[in-house]
Amino acid sequence: MNESKHKVEKIWEKGLPVDELIEKFTIGKDRELDLVLAPFDVLGSIAHVKMLHSIKLIADDELPRLTAELAKIYDLAVSGNFQIEEGIEDVHSQVELMLTRSLGDMGKKIHSGRSRNDQVLLDLKLYARHEIKEVTALADKLFKLLIRRSDDSKDILFPGYTHLQVAMPSSFGLWFGAYAESLTDDLQLLNAAWKITNQNPLGSAAGYGSSFPLNRQMTTDLLGFDQMNYNVVYAQMGRGKVEKTIAFALSSIASTLSKMAYDVCLFTSQNFGFVSLPDNMTTGSSIMPHKKNPDVFELLRSHCNKIQALPNDIILMTNNLPSGYFRDLQIIKEVFIPAFGELKSCLQIAAHAIEVMKVNKKILDDKKYDLIFSVEDVNKLVNGGMPFRDAYKHVARKIIDGDYVPVKKVNHVHEGSIGNLCNDEIAEKMNNVISLFDFDKIDNCYLELLSK
């Protein structure tokens, strides 16, 4: 076997020379990003090989040898020791090369009935499923922390704002709980993206199917997909659409974190003084010795705003493409793959900071917040029989005349209010959403796929 030939030959080459500058430009960052996809490419190959065996394109004695070699490559990939060699343009080519080196021409058989088009689409879907699972776990961890902090601080009042003007009584119980419930809707959207993602494209080949009698249901089951993308043209149209759909869900989580970070940046300032961070979680100034800056939340806000741009980035890469495969789609990986790591980091740091953030229990001792109780006093008059509009004018006149003296108590009992947070119901909502993902099914499929 001429090993040097395998090192330079592309799986699509026909013996014609390739312009080096064009080759470098068209490969782009594929080799770097494909290292992330390597474990999933191997899993897809194992399922494909088992399917090829079922339709007699892989012999009985070849199947165990191919799957054993692929399992070794998988172990390399998950341990971080898989490498794409110089001159090899992508993960698909590297895996096939490694098999061919070990098993000879038998290794070349694994590409029957598929194209790199459906391979990379499959890899991205398997990768996205893995990352969605990790994002979900981190979001759930932050959710549980927010619910706990909400319960612990339910009786600590502070002013709520509209138009950034002091408005009505709020509480830390409401504030923490609001962001917890926001995450439940974010994960509901993520689950919708999961359902669109969790459909098998393998077998669509270059977008028009194959003359081989492929058993697409078999690979669907082996890889733990809920179902397949049935129409082969639509399966390829999913490239870009899947990433965009997931990006909207990721951006929704990022929006929740960004808004929370902005609140904390306001609340930690001396003008508010509602919350404080430990000194070791703030930064200082090179010239102002008193400064304790909430940089962690400012950076959290900026990272999350960047993630919220992701759907638009993908839309602009795909919105003028007709059906069929185009190389434009390759560039999506450059913004899509890193976004998961960035969001996971934001979820981790948000939980770390929120855990130790201290709340001020005496905010309403400051007289500038007295007016937040005006609505409470209007409602008391209404409960006593006065028409609302008359009660409103009565309290307004006292405020104008400087005679208003608040009673700093609230009696809110309806669902979701200061006195009835409904955190148990919100937690049940979150648990119901997470149960829809059924991550265990996929884990079990992978264990079965990799078993000897």
Residue 161 backbone phi and psi in degrees, to 5: -130, 145
CB 308 within 8 Å of CB 258: yes
Q: Rounded to an integer, what distance in angstroms lies between the CA atom of residue 281 and that of residue 122?
A: 42
In sequence order, the 6+-apart residues with CB closer than 8 A to the CB of 158 are: 170, 171, 172, 175, 274, 360, 363, 364
Sign of CA dihedral 258, 259, 264, 270: positive
In sequence order, the 6+-apart residues with CB closer than 8 A to the CB of 17 are: none
Residue 427 backbone phi and psi in degrees, to 5: -65, -40
Question: Which position among 4, 79, 163, 211 bears the catalytic label?
Answer: 163
Cα–Cα separations (whole angstroms), residue 122 to 41, 43, 127, 140, 233? 8, 10, 8, 27, 15
Quote the DSSP letter at residue 284: -
Judge whether 163 counts as a catalytic residue.
yes
Q: Rounded to an integer, what distance in angstroms lies between the CA atom of residue 452 and that of residue 450?
A: 6
In sequence order, the 6+-apart residues with CB closer than 8 A to the CB of 411 are: 376, 419
Q: Rounded to an integer, what distance in angstroms lies between the CA atom of residue 398 and that of residue 266?
A: 31
Judge whether 394 counts as a catalytic residue.
no
Strand partners, 359: 275
Beta strands in 53-130 (DSSP E): none
Question: Which position among 269, 285, 302, 323 bears the catalytic label?
Answer: 285
Tokens of 337: 């793959």
Task: List the one residue out of 168, 144, 170, 166 whose CA is nearest residue 156.
Answer: 170
Task: List the one residue out of 46, 38, 203 whose CA is nearest residue 124.
Answer: 38
Element (H, E) at 317: helix 310-318
Q: Are strands 227-228 and 199-200 parallel, antiparallel or unpaired?
A: parallel
Task: List the one residue out of 308, 304, 309, 311 whose CA is nearest residue 343.
Answer: 304
Reduced to 3 states (helix: H, G, I; strand: E, B; else coil), residue 61 is coil
Positions annotated as catalytic residues are: 163, 285
